[in-house]
Each structure stands twice: as structure tokens, then as C-alpha cells.
Amino acid sequence: MAKAQSKGTSSARKQILPGIQAKTLKPVAALVDPQTIVVPMVLTGIISQISDNLKDQCSPKEVQQMESVKSYSKCLGIGNSRTLSATHALANTLGPEASTLATLSPDERLTYLADVRTTINTQLGPAKVNNSAMAFTDPEAVITHRRGLALQARSNMQAAPVYSRNQITIGMPVKELNLETCADSAKQLWVNIGREADAFDNLLLAQVDGAQTVLEAVISIVKQDMLTIFKADENGIITLGGDVNVLKGEDNLTPIERNLGFITRTVPEIPSTVEITPSVKLDPMLQAALDQQKKVVTAVSTSLQKAGKTPKSTVKPTETENKVASKTSAPSKGSRGRRSSKNK
């Protein structure tokens, strides 16, 4: 029999989803699935830990531009996270559906609202939050407003972990977040919207064949969403590359990434530098190339040093120097001949 985690997270120590409130989701609680809460909880937790780890190395804007952070942010705009944002938008705009809902049975209402949510989630078009009466009376204004609310929710989940990382947790520092905390915090939100705690575990386990624990199910579900954006190797490992900044710690990973077990992050290498001799003419083109190279070398070296890693650099001679070295190291024909005659 599948097992749920036995240890829960205290309500005094938890993670929250920025911009998502239980009281707002409560009227549409029956439309909320556990995975639509736990996936964005994990993703926002990872981004917040990256931001916290690098707080002494770079600005929030620089963190936001990291390749891995941009990819995680894309994940918050698709799949389960996108569905949650659509549910959030629907919960805030039930008013326009009042006359229709009044004529339907409870089961029919759920079916009808699920279709409305699908429209919010998939229909392309303008998205703009509009708090005027038009947003509740004009059909076109309603859908534009709903798309705007959904987009706003996704933007909050993407930006808050970077710029307001300390608001992601309550009663604990961001660096202490782990996968279990994410899952338990998602479960607590689920309970706060009026759903049964046992149902949270059972529904997650039902999503993944062979999962023996809730955390195993969470790992599989998160990975499924991530594979829409990231690529995995033949062993199912996702390698995060392209980041200049290096996280403090032995494996260049956040605690949550480490808990997931299928993520690695490469450590950047310092590019080979070119040593210019006085014989090489420095024109504007070469100077620009050298300046750009120096900027990258400095950035990578600084990041490695701040992360407690020893930077290794190599000096690559210019093509001109290679030719000179080749000529000076190789004996001339005449010298070879003189040595030969002497040996004789």
C-alpha cells in the first residue's frame, strides 16, 4: 500500500504561493487539483533559493536573467502552474456567471466552470486587468480581464521569488526549504480551501503509477512539467547549463533541486585568455574582443571565488605567437646540415 509522508510542516513554518490566497480559491475548491498547487510551490521555492544563495553575488535583476531561472519561470507559465493561475482568475470573476450558475445543478456548475477555465487557459487574445463594471458586463471585457488576472498571477509567481524572496516563507528562512516543506505547504493550502487532507495524498499518488510515497509522486509530477521546457539525458537527468553565477555549496544546487534528484548544474569554466605581445597591433576590433573576453573571465572568476571554488585559468597564445614559437623551436636546414657533418 502506498505511503504518505508521516511528518508534516508546522503552520508556523511554511511556504506560500505569492498572489494566491485560500479565501479566493475556496468557492472553486472542487476545481483545484493537488498538482496545480504543489508544482508551482516547488518551482517558486527553487527560484527563491537561487536568489537567496546569490544575494551577495548579484542583483535580483541579474538573478532573473540567469538561464536556469528563466527556464524555471517558463515552467511557471505552463502546465499545472498555468492551470492554477486560470483557476485564480476564474475565482475572482464568478459574478458574470451568476445567472447561468443559478440554473445548474452542483455537478453541472463544476462542468461549466471547468470549461470556462479551459477557455481562460488556452484562448489567445489580449490580457488586461480591468476593475471597471465593463469587466463584469461586456463578454469581451470579461475574458480580457480574466486573462489579465491569470497573467498577473503567473507574473507574481515568477517575480516574487527573485525580488521578494523573504516573503515566500513564513517562520523559516528560504534556505531551509526542502521538497517535504513544499509538499506539506501545498497540502496546507489545499486544506485551507476546504479540501480533505487525505484526498491530497491519495490524488497525488493516483497520478503516478508505482509511487510509494507522496514525495515520490511529487518528484514525478514536477519532472513531467519541467520536461516541457528542459531536456533530459538518457538517464532522465536534467543538466542546467549556461549560468555564469555559481551557487555556494558543493554541488552547485539548491536544497530543493538536490531533493528532486534528477537535476545537475554545470560549473562554468574560465575561458582561455589570449596574451598579446608588443608585436601584435591592437586595432579597435581586437581591442573590443579582448575587452569582452576580459569581462567574461572576470565575471566567472568572481562568481567561483564567492562560491568558495578555486578558479582555474589558461593562457592561450595568439596565432602569431604560435607561428613564431614554431619557427624558433624548429632547427633550420642549415643548422641540421652542420650538426650532421660534425657528427660525421
Q: Is residue 7 part of a domain?
A: no
Cell 515520490 locates to 216
Q: Is residue 118 part of a domain?
A: yes
In this prediction, residue 156 carries a pLDDT of 97
Q: Is residue 1 part of a domain?
A: no
| Same domain as 258, residue 335 | no
Instruction: Provide the domain limits for residue 246.
Output: 14-265
Q: Which residues of 263-300 are buried (b: 16+ CB within 10 A; e: fewer)?
A: bebeebebeeebebeeeeeeeeeeeeeeeeeeeebebb
Please give the share of the chain, as a percent, with pLDDT higher than 70: 77
For 29-41, the pLDDT digits (tens) are 999 999 999 999 9
Q: DSSP letter string over 25-65?
A: HGGGGGG--HHHHHHHHHHHHHHHHHHHHTTTTS-HHHHHT
In this prediction, residue 3 carries a pLDDT of 45
| Same domain as 151, residue 75 | yes
Contact 2, 205 (CB under 8 A): yes
Least confident range from 77-91, 138-152, 329-343: namely 329-343
Q: Which of 210, 233, 265 is the last residue of a domain?
A: 265
Q: How many domains does the chain have?
A: 2
For 263-276, the pLDDT digits (tens) are 999 886 665 666 66
Q: Is residue 8 part of a domain?
A: no
| Same domain as 317, residue 171 | no
Q: Which residues of 25-40 are buried (b: 16+ CB within 10 A; e: fewer)?
A: beebeebbbbbbbbbb
Q: Is residue 4 part of a domain?
A: no
Q: Is residue 160 part of a domain?
A: yes
Least confident range from 173-182, 233-242, 323-332: namely 323-332
| Same domain as 231, residue 326 | no
pLDDT, greater one: 299 or 90 = 90
The rounded distance, in Å, linking the Cα atoms of 199 and 38 is 14
For residue 11, what are the contacts with CB-CB under 8 A and spacing of at least 6? 188
Q: Which of 248, 265, 282 is the last residue of a domain?
A: 265
For 76-126, the pLDDT digits (tens) are 999 999 999 999 999 999 999 999 999 999 999 999 999 999 999 998 999
Check the CA dihedral 319-324-330-334 and report its sign.
positive
| Same domain as 91, residue 30 | yes
| Same domain as 277, residue 146 | no
| Same domain as 289, residue 160 | no
For residue 302, what are the contacts with CB-CB under 8 A and spacing of at least 6? 57
Beta strands in the chain (DSSP E): 14-15, 169-170, 238-240, 263-265, 273-275, 315-317
Contact 110, 32 (CB under 8 A): no
Compute and round to an integer the Cα radius of gyration of the chain.
Answer: 28
Q: Which of 237, 265, 293 is the last residue of a domain?
A: 265
| Same domain as 280, residue 148 | no
β-pairing, 273-275 vs 14-15, is unpaired
| Same domain as 141, residue 35 | yes
Q: Is residue 315 part of a domain?
A: yes
Least confident range from 82-96, 160-174, 178-192, 264-278: namely 264-278
β-pairing, 263-265 vs 273-275, is unpaired
| Same domain as 223, residue 156 | yes
Q: Is residue 115 part of a domain?
A: yes
- What cell does 67 get? 538561464
| Same domain as 314, residue 242 | no
pLDDT, greater one: 75 or 132 = 75
The rounded distance, in Å, linking the Cα atoms of 150 and 74 is 15
| Same domain as 280, residue 157 | no
The total of other beta-carbon atoms located within 10 Å of residue 254's CB is 27
> What is the overall mean pLDDT for the chain?
85
Which stretch, 241-250, 277-286, 287-296, has highest mean pLDDT?
241-250
